[in-house]
Amino acid sequence: MDSSADIEDSSVAALDPSTLQPRSRIEKLVANPLVLISPFFLWGTSMVAMKGALTETTPLFIASVRLIPAGMLVVAFSMLIGRSQPKGWKAWLWIGLFALVDGAMFQGFLAKGLDRTGAGLGSVMIDSQPLAVAVMARFLFKEWIGPLGWLGLFVGLVGISFIGLPDDWILAVLNGKIPAIAVEQEVWSMLFRHGEWLMLMAALSMAVGTILIRYVAAVVDPVMATGWHMIIGGLPLLVLSSLEDPTAWEGLSWAGWTEMGYATVFGSAIAYGVFFYIAAQGSLTSLSALTFLTPVFALLFSTWLLSESLSLVQWSGVMLTLLSIYLINRRVQIASWLSSQLSIFSFVHPPIALSNTSEAVSVDTILTEADSDSGAR
């Protein structure tokens, strides 16, 4: 298994944009807090924009229009700065698989789920995907999770349950009662009528895509691969949209087109570009720590612009899920701090020294890629 240092160094080398601007200007740009949080702001607000456009058109049409133009912009920019095109059947095979999972499935589930739930709540479910990434990386790559990581996974599972399950069920369990649940077929039918569970499927699709990007980046430039996976992944969504409603675009007003344009250009292409630009300067740790800002922005703007509201149980689930994301993404740093403060907490430390271990930080590299591999939340 490659060390995280090798992965991170190769990613930085592959994406180094130092030829575009003087180094001093780049350092000032990356140090600007507004620039640092801008991808998460754009991702969060694009969820709100998509939700607004759903009142005028179909989910699959929005998903396809969001992916394909954004992918074209990324491919065009990659060609402009001299990135190499995919070569050989192996490269295109990996891109095709990446497009199916992280393009078509992720965006399809996201758009369908967003049609049945709020933008803020949906964003929280989407951003729970680092939990699934951590589990898959543990079993596929033998990555270290540690006590804090497992605590984060448990808290996240509880939070997602609070968000996705009916309030009556949660309140019944908290009161020590057995919730009244219908027959099995009705249970699953009811759950998947709720957008939160479709959002969870989207999060799982993105988590698998995060694992796949390791293999994709080994055979093709990751930026170019991301652009092509948007284009290829958007095509089946466009076909399905045409079959579902050939006139999906006719009902869009100028406001609807503006919302879709914002989600495509700002929420996909620009947010993706800014994220990778900052990541290329070695700010992966800072970006990973800011993951929770995406659902925070989505919740704030969906409440303000769409007048969305959550129940007390759902708000509790949101808080628990955000806490779990923080614990998963920052578990190594928290463990290191605890070890330096109190020796009795040394059991939370990774099995080898943090400063020199690849096992302890490689999951964090993967989790950071969870925010960058699709570029289209």
Number of domains in the chain: 1
Q: Is residue 158 part of a domain?
A: yes
Read off the tokens for 190. Answer: 């009811």
Q: Is residue 377 part of a domain?
A: no
Percentage of the residues of the chain whose pLDDT score is greater than 70 = 75
User: For residue 371, is pLDDT > 70?
Assistant: no
pLDDT the model gives residue 283 = 52
- Gyration radius from the chain CA atoms: 21
Q: Is residue 186 part of a domain?
A: yes
Q: Is residue 257 part of a domain?
A: yes
Read off the tokens for 113. Answer: 């789920």
Written as one string, the DSSP assignment of 106-124 is: HHHHHHHHHTTS-HHHHHH
Q: Which residue range forms the structural domain that includes residue 343?
A: 4-372
Average pLDDT over every residue of 16-38:
62
DSSP state of 220: S
**C-alpha angle with apex 159: 157 to 163, nearest 5 degrees?**
115
User: Exposure of 283 by Cβ count < 10 A (0-12 exposed, 13-18 middle, 19+ buried)?
Assistant: middle
Q: Is residue 311 part of a domain?
A: yes
Q: Is residue 341 part of a domain?
A: yes
Average pLDDT over every residue of 145-169:
84
Q: Is residue 258 part of a domain?
A: yes
> Which pTM value belongs to this model?
0.74
Tens of pLDDT, residues 50-108: 999 999 999 999 999 999 999 999 899 889 988 899 999 999 999 999 999 999 999 99
Q: Is residue 334 part of a domain?
A: yes
